[in-house]
Structure 1
Amino acid sequence: MSAKTSFRSAVRVSARASLFGLALLPLAGCSTFENLNPFAGEKYETKILPDVPADDIYNQGVARLQNKDTEGATKKFGQLEKDFAYSDYARKGLLMQTYAQYQGGSYDDAIESGARYYKLYPNTPDAPYALYLQAMSYYSQVPDISRDQAQAGKALALFEEIVTKYPNSEYANDSKYKIQVTRDQLAGKEMSVGRFYLARKNYTAAINRFREVLAKYQTTRHTEEALMRLTEAYMGLGITDEAQTAAAILGHNFPDSEWYKDSFALLKDNGLEPHENQDSWISKAFRKIGLT
């Protein structure tokens, strides 16, 4: 055999050996590759879940709600929106999800779900209920008047929207009552801040707060005190004309009020008496709502 032929044979044998060795690598490392395969073993066994009818899911949600499992009910009703998108069950499920969240005290979630329902289905018969659940979720979080009243303001806006857009709905009467409560709460906050400024003789800041009460919340129980505090604040500034006007309107509308007696005594101690100036902003504010 020539040297050239021997070289070619050696190359072929080496190549075959190399290919044979490469072919053995996967077999030798079989266990290692199985561990790297995410679909190997029973842990990742594929299972086909049976379809659950929408009405069954809905009824399961209702059952959980009846058992006071609001979290479980929320998940079931939420499943309807995912599995049966744009169906009537998805719509019902979203409303019931909102209700379950409200019942469970998850008020922020209920507000979000209710807002989504109203955005998607504004013309359905349940639209006012979605607004009502939102409003009640804000209402349930209203703190005492020493704290920020943003929740009361948002609740008030939604209750007013219900009364305006859906005056004949079953939620209108309760919304009217809640409007009075939230307005009284907001007025109470203004009074609290106003008294704070008045005690520190910051009369201008105090007047601005009491003015808010008369401008926005005249029908609340805080109106009488606001007029008396205005008498005090204006006397503190030496603006007797406005002080007399505040006392006069207080006496005209609430003649038996203890606040009027205090206003009258304050003016009398300074040689003055109640007298309404028709050009005063206080007089105009009350003429606007027909109280003078």
Structure 2
Amino acid sequence: MKSFRKVAPLLAGAMLSLAGCSSSDTEEQAVLANMGAQQMYEKAKRSMEAGNFSNAAATLSALDSRYPFGPLSHQVQLDLIYSYYKSGKPDEALATIDRFIRLNPNHSDVDYAFYMRGLTNMESDSNLFQELMNIDRADRDPAKSRQAFDDFRRLIQQYPNSKYAADARKRMLHIKERLARYEIAIARFYMRREAYVAAANRGRYVIEHFPDSNQVQQALEIMVSSYDELGLDDLKENAMKTLKLNYPDSEFIS
């Protein structure tokens, strides 16, 4: 009974909080219902300027639904993409991006949509908690990073003169480093399992696909170790020569 008396106020508070949110949402919907397109857009812009992107997204979404073919429709969708991105709603952002690209393939700002697609996918691969705690999780699935890389590559290929192209190229280099680190993490996993062929193949993949990354030295060292374990002397010697030439301070060289 005592424990219930302690919990009851908390439950009541939570119920009041939910009721308050519901009431607030209803009031907000009523306010938006009495606004015209320009008023709604100005309200959304004020929210964006104040950094309240969640509120801006709600207003822009309502505006987009009510006036899908109005004079502001394209700008509304572009602002909605950004608001979803900033408010941490990647699925909604990607859906809005894909719809914009599909319906407006020749729009002057379609390059921005591709750029935001890359940013959104890139952001989806990050983990703020792990970054703050300095936890290296290079072994997590990089599917979103690969998609972001493809998004940025498509932007550069189709719109090489886009004002977003230079930043996209820089982000692609960062993503390549992320993908190379993933391959090294998996190669080390294979080494621990004594799956030396698989480990060597992962190392070679890094050399072939990410030769400008910072993981090349580790890839070569893994190849040397793997070929040594497998008794493949010729392959080991070739990997060692490359390692000596490019990384003479490597501890593998003796």
TM-score scaled to structure 1, two decimals?
0.68
Is the 2:217–2:247 contact (alpha carbons within 8 Å) kept by the matching residues of 1? no
Q: Distance in 2 between matches of 1:84 and 1:138?
A: 28
The residue number in structure 1 matching 2:144 is 151
The residue number in structure 1 matching 2:231 is 238
Aligned residues: 214
Is the 1:187–1:217 contact (alpha carbons within 8 Å) kept by the matching residues of 2? yes
Q: Distance in 2 between matches of 1:64 and 1:54?
A: 15
Shift in alpha-carbon separation, 1:50–1:248, aligned structure 2, 3 A:
closer
Match of 2:112 among 129, 136, 139: 129
The residue number in structure 2 matching 1:13 is none
Match of 2:82 among 84, 99, 120: 99
Q: Distance in 2 between matches of 1:61 and 1:151?
A: 29
Q: Distance in 2 between matches of 1:69 and 1:104?
A: 8
Give CA deviations for 1:183-229 in whole Å, capped at 9, x if unaligned.
Answer: 11111011011011113321011112112212221111111211121
Give CA deviations for 1:149-207 in whole Å, capped at 9, x if unaligned.
Answer: 11111111111111211221111111111101111111101101101111332101111
Determine if the alignment matches structure 1 residue 62 to structure 2 residue 55. Answer: no
Give CA deviations for 1:252-281 in whole Å, capped at 9, x if unaligned.
Answer: 3x144x33x51x32xxxxxxxxxxxxxxxx
Determine if the alignment matches structure 1 residue 223 to structure 2 residue 223. Answer: no
> Which consecutive residues of structure 2, in runs of 5 or more, have no partner in the other structure?
1-31, 127-136
Q: Percent identity?
A: 25
Query: How big is the alpha-carbon RMSD for the aligned residues of Structure 1 and Structure 2?
Result: 2.0
Q: Which one-letter code corresponds to 1:189 in the other structure?
A: Y
Larger radius of gyration: 1
Q: Which one-letter code corresponds to 2:180 in the other structure?
A: A
Alpha-carbon offset, residue 68 of structure 1: 2.3
User: Helix, strand or coil: the match of 2:152?
Assistant: helix
- Provide runs of 4+ in structure 1 moved above 6 Å: none
> Which consecutive residues of structure 1, in runs of 5 or more, have no partner in the other structure?
1-48, 266-292
Match of 2:155 among 162, 168, 171: 162
